[in-house]
Structure 1
Amino acid sequence: MDSLVPAFIAVLIASATDRNAWLAAILGERYRAPARLWAGIVLAQIALAAIAVGGAAMVRPMMNERSGALLLALAMLAAGMGMMFRTRQPDRLERWRLGAAINSFVGTFLLGFGERAQFLLFALAVQGPYPWLAGVGGALGSAVAIIPALMLGEAGWRALPLRAISVAGGVAFLLIGAFEMLSAIEII
């Protein structure tokens, strides 16, 4: 649980207003096939989580506790700063004719690769006691974050107070990241 729950919460917050959610809203409105879309998105999130955890497994032996804590603080600060900026609209994938499940899988995978949620998951997997549980928590968090966008469609999702949600999440990440940074360099 020490790795699962923090990864779930962090990735859920980081993914709630990102481009993957916006793409899910676009595709949800276009295809009206939420089960197939969600299946493609979940598979993409599992693949992205596996890449993050695999990278963490390679880096983890080279890190000590303090450097892992610094990495996590930087990931949180980067996520917080990223959430302060407006989200750019993703490609609408209008010319893609691969079907609901494959479009959602490929589009989500390409958009999510290297995004803030994946970097957070990488850092949590490096720092936490059970990296693979962080991967499970991160994949679940991103899969759950997509559901409102998928069900509401683009118009409904964009009607939500996305800017306020993003800023609130960003402030939370900045505060927690700053605390983690100060703790890692032993100031507090």
Structure 2
Amino acid sequence: METLVPAFVAVLLAQIFDPPARLSAVLADRFGRRAGVTLGLAVAHVMGFALAAAGGAVLAPGMSSNARALLLGVALIAAGAGGFPRPRLADRLAGWRTGSVTTALLGIFILAFGDRSQFLALAIAAWGVAPALAAGGAAVAAIAVGAVAVVLGERAWCGWPRRPARLAVSALFLIAGAWVAVRALRLG
């Protein structure tokens, strides 16, 4: 639970405002096959977060506990800083002719690869004792957000006032990251 819940909460908060959820809504509207898009996004997120957690598991043994905590602080700060600019969806994948599952799987995997949610999952996996739980918590959160976006569609998903919430979540990530980093550096 030490890694499952933090990974779930952090990724849930980050994914609400990130492009993979919007791409999920776009693809659901385009294909009209919500189950296919959901399956594709689920596989993409499971693969991506498994890779992130594996990276954290590889890094962790060579790091001191303070270094692992500092990595987590840096990931939280990066997640906060990454949330201040308005996220844009660079490509709607309109030219892809591969079907709902394959387009969602490849498009979301490529879009999400190395994003702030995966960096958070890597850092939480390195910080905690169970990288598989970090991957699981992160994947479940990302899949849940993506599934809601699929059900709502692009218009409803993007129609609510996101800016104040996005800025509040970004500030929360920055404050938490600064607190963790200061403690890791033993400055406070």
Aligned positions of 1:60-139 closer than 5 A: 60-139=60-139
- Cα RMSD (Å) of the superposition? 0.9
Aligned partners of 1:81, 1:12: CA distance in 2, in Å? Answer: 17
Question: Given residue 109 of structure 2, which amino acid in structure 1 is its aligned partner?
Answer: F
Secondary structure of 1:84 counterpart = coil
| Alignment partner of 1:158 is 2:149 | no
CA deviation vs aligned residue, 1:46-70 (integer Å, no higher than 9, x gap): 0001110111121111111000000
Q: In structure 2, what is the equivalent of residue 183 of structure 1? A: 183
Query: Which has the larger displacement, 153-162 or 131-140?
Result: 153-162
Aligned partners of 1:63, 1:72: CA distance in 2, in Å? Answer: 12
Cα shift at 1:15: 0.7
Percent sequence identity over aligned pairs:
38
Q: In structure 2, what is the equivalent of residue 14 of structure 1? A: 14
Q: In structure 1, what is the equivalent of residue 55 of structure 2? A: 55
Aligned partners of 2:169, 2:55: CA distance in 1, in Å? Answer: 26
Cα shift at 1:101: 0.7
Aligned partners of 1:148, 1:163: CA distance in 2, in Å? Answer: 19
Q: For structure 1, list consecutive stretches of 5 or more residues without a partner in the other structure.
A: none
Q: For structure 2, list consecutive stretches of 5 or more residues without a partner in the other structure.
A: none
TM-score (norm 2): 0.97
Question: Given residue 110 of structure 1, which amino acid in structure 2 is its aligned partner?
Answer: I
Aligned partners of 1:94, 1:132: CA distance in 2, in Å? Answer: 35
Runs of 4+ that moved beyond 3 A: none
Secondary structure of 2:83 counterpart = helix
Q: Is the 8 A contact 1:22 1:90 kept in 2?
A: no
